Amino acid sequence: MKFGVAICGVLLLLLGCHREIIDEEQPSVCILRPHDGEHVSRIATIVVEADDNKKLTRLELYIDDSLVVAHEQTPDKYYCIYYWITWDLPHKSTHTIHAVAFDATGNIEMTPVVNVIVDHSGVREWFFYTGSSIHAAIAMSPDNTIYCKNATGVFYALNPDGSEKWTYQMSIGYNLAAPAVGSDGTIYVATNWYLYALDPNGNLKWQHGPMLVLTSTPAIAADGAIIVGSMDSKVYAFNADGTVRWTYETPAPIYTSPAIAIDGTIYISSTTTDSGFFALNADGSLKWRFDVNAMIYSSPAIDDQGNVYFGSNDYYLYVLNPDGTMKWRFLTDGEIRASPAIGSDGTVYFGSYDGYLYAVDRMGNLTWRYYLGGYCSSTPAIALDGTLYVGSYDDHLYAIYGGGSLRWKYQTGSVISSSPVIGCDGTVYVGSNDGCVYAITGFAPMTISAWPMFHHDPQLTGRAD
């Protein structure tokens, strides 16, 4: 009996020595979406995961240090999904997200702060209906006036907010050539019969014609000469007052637009089944000729080494050295009628009638390609953040990340053969065959490169610098 009591005493002593184990382990909590530095838009999804070895009692979610979610009596492991509406937040504004988890014993854990940027890219800011298809590229003056021409020859100047500034009726016909803007604000634009020079207020300075221009966008040389190709097979150089400085006759009609190198060399091609690609001196004399056994509708681009890029109907992109010898060529699965654009690292981007947008490095190796859903005769415009904007025959304007994946696409009412331009605030302007000019929110201005868009720059001067 005494033995049994003694045992009980020992047991009581042992029980008396027991202390409650204190939970000192912090709960775990992390933000799975979005990631730090990510761009968010429209309705952004925030996903938080929390866990504890015992029991979670509360989970809080904060945006810009304001409590937006508080869940009580949560299970040991918990996922919180919150849909954050960002429509009313300013474009490019930066915001913070963090979460806090609590367990039953008072332990608290907070996530690192996640910084995100609100990005309303791909949202239409406005559109302007011109009454007829817009085939040619959009130009922009340094004061952000937007210039475009529709298929019936009506030339429009639009304010940055999309309102009409003025119009000018040019010769009626199938108008495919884009305008070019001189350093003094003069606008040079070709139709199927005349070359016009308009002042910034829409008044006619001079016109030259009739001549068969049709599709060639003028280029503006450093000395002010205006260079344009014509369907009468001639290259024309005009003085600033509209007088002819010189002409050069090629063997066939000219559908392409000229490009001018830093040294003044003029590059242009004639269009026939045995097309010639020509390099002309600044005085109009022939420097060299490169022959291609196919039609050329692709206007040239020039890189920072003076190499010249153009596409052909034989499915090749050609790259020529400044002396006229071939550097390399790249084969696609369709005709290449679009002009190439060149990124800051020398990558060349171009569309093909096989429906793909191609990225090819300086050595002629494929980096990536992206299917656009239809023919592509639109030249990409490259933004400073690497995004490429390009139109397609599937009616969409595409925004493609520099790595070759889709960022967004915007649908218009018809084919987009026009080439876009990027404003200084990142807004993307493009024309459509539905007759409208669209202003779409972008994120970054034009990149700095040798040839970042059709005809080199927003003024479409066609001149390397």
Averaged over successive runs of 10 residues, the pLDDT of the chain (465 residues) comes to 34 42 80 94 91 88 95 78 92 95 90 95 94 94 95 94 96 81 96 92 94 87 96 94 96 94 97 87 97 94 98 97 98 97 98 98 98 96 97 97 96 96 96 97 95 98 96
Q: Which domain holds residue 157?
A: 124-440
Predicted pLDDT at 55: 83
Is there a domain that residue 4 lies in?
no
3-state helix, strand, coil in the chain (%, to 5): 5, 40, 55
For residue 434, the cross-strand partners are none
Predicted pLDDT at 212: 78
Q: Same domain for 99 and 246?
A: no
| Cβ(264)–Cβ(225) below 8 Å | no
Is there a domain that residue 429 lies in?
yes
Q: What is the CATH number of the domain that holds 190?
A: 2.130.10.10
Cα separation of 183 and 32, whole Å? 51
Cis upstream peptide for 34 (omega within 30°): yes
Picking from 118, 142, 171, the residue at the C-terminal end of a domain is 118
Q: Same domain for 107 and 196?
A: no
Picking from 118, 133, 165, the residue at the C-terminal end of a domain is 118
Is there a domain that residue 7 lies in?
no
Q: Same domain for 100 and 171?
A: no
The 3-state DSSP class for residue 193 equals coil
| Cβ(252)–Cβ(233) below 8 Å | yes
Is there a domain that residue 33 lies in?
yes
Backbone φ and ψ of 17, nearest 5°: -80, -10
Is there a domain that residue 200 lies in?
yes
Q: Same domain for 131 and 279?
A: yes
Q: What is the CATH number of the domain that holds 80?
A: 2.60.40.10
Is there a domain that residue 379 lies in?
yes
Is there a domain that residue 80 lies in?
yes
Picking from 118, 148, 182, the residue at the C-terminal end of a domain is 118
pTM for the structure as a whole: 0.86
Q: Same domain for 89 and 204?
A: no
Total domains in the chain come to: 2
Q: Same domain for 279 and 179?
A: yes
Q: Same domain for 90 and 128?
A: no
| Cβ(316)–Cβ(360) below 8 Å | no
Is there a domain that residue 158 lies in?
yes
Predicted pLDDT at 117: 95
Q: How crowded is residue 203: how many other Cβ atoms within 10 Å of its Cβ?
A: 10
- DSSP calls for 375-396: ---PPPEEBTTS-EEEE-TTSE
Q: Same domain for 178 and 110?
A: no
Q: Same domain for 63 and 129?
A: no
Q: Same domain for 88 and 205?
A: no
Residue 35 exposed, middle or buried by CB count within 10 Å (0-12, 13-18, 19+): exposed
Q: Same domain for 94 and 212?
A: no
Cα separation of 83 and 96, whole Å? 15
Predicted pLDDT at 284: 97
Q: Same domain for 96 and 147?
A: no
Task: Give the end-to-end CA distance of the chain in Å, rounded to a whole number.
Answer: 109
